Amino acid sequence: MRTRLPAPGRTISAGRRPHRRPAHPGPAGALALGLLAAFALAPASAGASGSLVSLRVVGAAPVPSITSFPFQVGMFIQSPGGGFGAQATLAFCGGVIIDPTQILTAAHCVSNELSGAPVPPASVTLLAGTAMLPPAVPTQPVAANIAIDPHYDTRTADYDLAVVTLTAPLYTGSPRPDGTAAIAPIPLVTPALATRFANPNLSPAEPVTISGWGETAPLGVGAQDDSADLPHQLQAAQTHLVPDATCAAQYASLGSLGVPAITPRMLCAGEPTGGIDACSGDSGGPLVVDVDSPAAPPGDYVLAGLIDFGAGCAQPGFPGVYVRLATPEIAAFIGQQAAAQGQQLAAAPAPAGIAPVRRMLAGSGTASIAAASGRVSSRVARVAVRCRRATCTGTITLRTTTTVGIAHFAIAANTTKRVPVRITPRGREQLVRHGHRLLTRATLRTTGAPATQRAFTLTG
């Protein structure tokens, strides 16, 4: 799902670069998407990095209606030569609506792969308000301006972000992604929301959703995808964030091959066994997180990342890499671009459904238990934990005379996380015996502090 223009002298796997094909003019000078689906990707131009990095959605399912992802757009970048190389090409990427006239995408989608300078704005047109690719390249809306993050580095893929301003607004009024709107902006993740819902270092791993029209077949590290086609219907998949240190170590093993190192401006997501990932044609598209419980997408989605690059597509041990939008410098750049156009970004939703948590004493913890359902067979309780030190890690044990439930946790300071607790068979028996209510004690152990006990009534 991601696409990234390879940098000079680097081998980047085809899966994460913009989907590029030779430009064959069709009616009215447009390239028929039938050709886009039938022809192979244009080879990387001279001096471009090779193919260790790829970008698309693999392991996804078709999206029946764009109302599920009304902020998703497709971007067509036509180059008469000199933009992506000497050969005339058509590149395809994803993008995300953030206000009526502005789209977020990856910088490598709309810049010269050697110099990093933006392509001519008039060469960029958009597809919005539909989940289906059209029979010909759209001629409207057209970009009026392309602002690339000033820190963007074509060699390292760091700060791989651009804001595309359109010649005309995509909508009027204040549409919301409520499941009925075909075009609507998505709020950006805030630092507070990122800590709770887009934090790759939490356990269990946080779920995220990715979408795009990129290639859908897995691609090995270093493999080529010369005959790959784009799906006609928008695809989406759910995967999970990967800890920063884990992703950095995995990609460090490919440094000698020219694959970029993971920086603090990057976020990783994927499955340990592979199978779900972004790929060629997905670059610049959204990675979203749900900030409500129970989930009610798309109304409680916030944008946490943009599809950037990866080692192959859907390969075990190499998750996809995304632009981390909670980075202060990146968030500031986006805000400045919106303000320059007199636009106001959509406000992030306030999380609901999270039980209030009492403040903890420094170095200790409190927890509140809430039944996952009214039936004992649910086998799960919810424990909300807040810590005031840098990091709290440990074990929650629910006890009466025997252990009735247990969970392990790791959360950052000043954050709240709902931790699933597995109820033991003995615990279920005791719940039934005591009329589905059981006075129990939770033992919380936090790093560098003595264990703390709290009494709770467990219901189920």
pLDDT in tens, 29-65: 322 222 222 222 222 222 222 333 333 366 667 888 9
pLDDT in tens, 67-101: 999 999 999 998 765 444 455 678 899 999 999 99
pTM over 0.85: no
On whether the CB atoms of residues 31 and 20 are closer than 8 A, the answer is no
**pLDDT tier at 374 (50, 70, 90 boundaries)?**
very low
**What percent of the chain shows pLDDT beyond 90?**
37
Across residues 437-443, what is the average pLDDT?
61
pLDDT at 24 over 60: no
pLDDT in tens, 90-146: 889 999 999 999 999 999 999 988 888 999 999 999 999 999 998 888 888 999 999
Q: Which residues pair with 381 in a beta bridge?
A: 371, 421
Task: Determine if residue 81 is left, alpha or beta; phi over 0 gives left, psi from -120 to 50 gives alpha, anything else beta.
Answer: left
Across residues 251-263, what is the average pLDDT?
87
**Distance from C-alpha of 116 to C-alpha of 120, rounded to nearest angstrom:** 12
Closest CA to 46 of 109, 108, 114, 111: 114
The pair of three-digit structure tokens given for residue 142, joined into one six-digit string: 């057209």
369 vs 158: which has the higher pLDDT: 158
pLDDT at 251 over 80: yes
pLDDT at 17 over 90: no
On whether the CB atoms of residues 185 and 345 are closer than 8 A, the answer is yes
**What percent of the chain shows pLDDT beyond 70?**
59
pLDDT in tens, 409-419: 666 655 666 66
What pLDDT was estimated at residue 102? Answer: 97
Angle CA 77–80–83, to nearest 5: 65
